[in-house]
Structure 1
Amino acid sequence: MFSLTKRQAVILLGVVLLLVACWLLYQYFHQPQPVTVESQQLAETPAGVDLAAKNAHIDMLQSQLNEAAQQIAELKNKPPDTIIQTVPVEVIKTVEVERQKSGANFAIVTDPKQPDKQVDLKEVEKLPTETSVTLNQYNVFAYKKVIRGVNVYPDWSEVVRGNFKIDEVTADVSRRITKDGKYIGVVAGYDFKHDHAKAGLRYLF
């Protein structure tokens, strides 16, 4: 049997505590930034969406990046998700409130008057209080177009006796039907306990 001396145990505990402390410090100094300011031109590209996703600590597939960028580009001549009209000191707060209200994973903010330039929110905050600020906000939802799943249901009455026996197995495929992550799909499987196949619909929200 593997055992540690008292000194080895203390060293191991110290290493574990050090790793935990380093991880906590990293999380503290690298907190997600759910709002990214970009030029309109950059926001319309997969690279621009990817930058905003990385700032929010969210991983997206290339297909998701392409889709989001295309949607932003298509909105160029239409009203964006949100048009921010507020006073300078309230810009950052207003953007985050609107993002949370929509349920989006992150948001991209652009300046409609200067599509090739990135607005500096810190500089905006320094503007005179009576200044009216208007920016475009694009809320991005990081949901896959299609999700698949496999479900296995053991017979727990047998498992507790040390015999692994499966009661039922199902598989499902669902397609996203809304931007905020609602899905509808089909599920099929086999019930070994009652010896019959089954199929149905699945709605995820």
Structure 2
Amino acid sequence: MITIEKKRKRSDRGAANKPPGHLFCQLCVQEYPLDLLFLSRAVRSSDSFVRTVTNTSSTLQRVLFLYLKFMLKACSRCGKIHKPGECTAGIKYTQKIRDSEADRFRNRKIWRRKADEILERDGHCCRVCLSAGVINSTDLSVHHIVPLKVDYDRRLDNDNLITLCRYHHEAAERGRISRQELATMTCTVDFSRHNI
């Protein structure tokens, strides 16, 4: 922990030549005058922070504020310590621009109506969970069995749409659940048999 003490004894070696307004850092064992320009500016900017903390001395509060304010942090990209924005790892994060025809379709009212219709058809339950005997009605979404990129003309076809939970939707997107298996589950289910 960093602590700074104000020198009060003038009998210390060399203290006779220095004004009483010096700070002594116990970490680096150096003296710093209180009237330095950068320190006075930093202390003035820390005054708003100092007013909120009342348990410690004002000098320690200011030092802690300055330490936290100018402390270097590890880079989230490369893990090294350097100033923000100076990462040399060369990792560039790009945001996917979503302006394809399929993305525009998902924002239309006709798709929202169709998704509600499919949710009603499937009884607001994940069809894959239901085939395993589990009733799951959380985190549901409507999935295109044949993706819009492959066959855009089947975007509103009832046989191409199925209600899935988040887990099974991700599994279907990654190909862990085949399209044929999903297509067999789109048939109408008698929900009275499942006590829903």
TM interval, short-chain normalised: under 0.3
Indicate the structure with greater helix content. 2
RCO higher in 1 or 2 (8 Å CA, sep ≥ 6)?
A: 1
TM-score, normalised to structure 1, is 0.20
Structure of larger gyration radius: 2
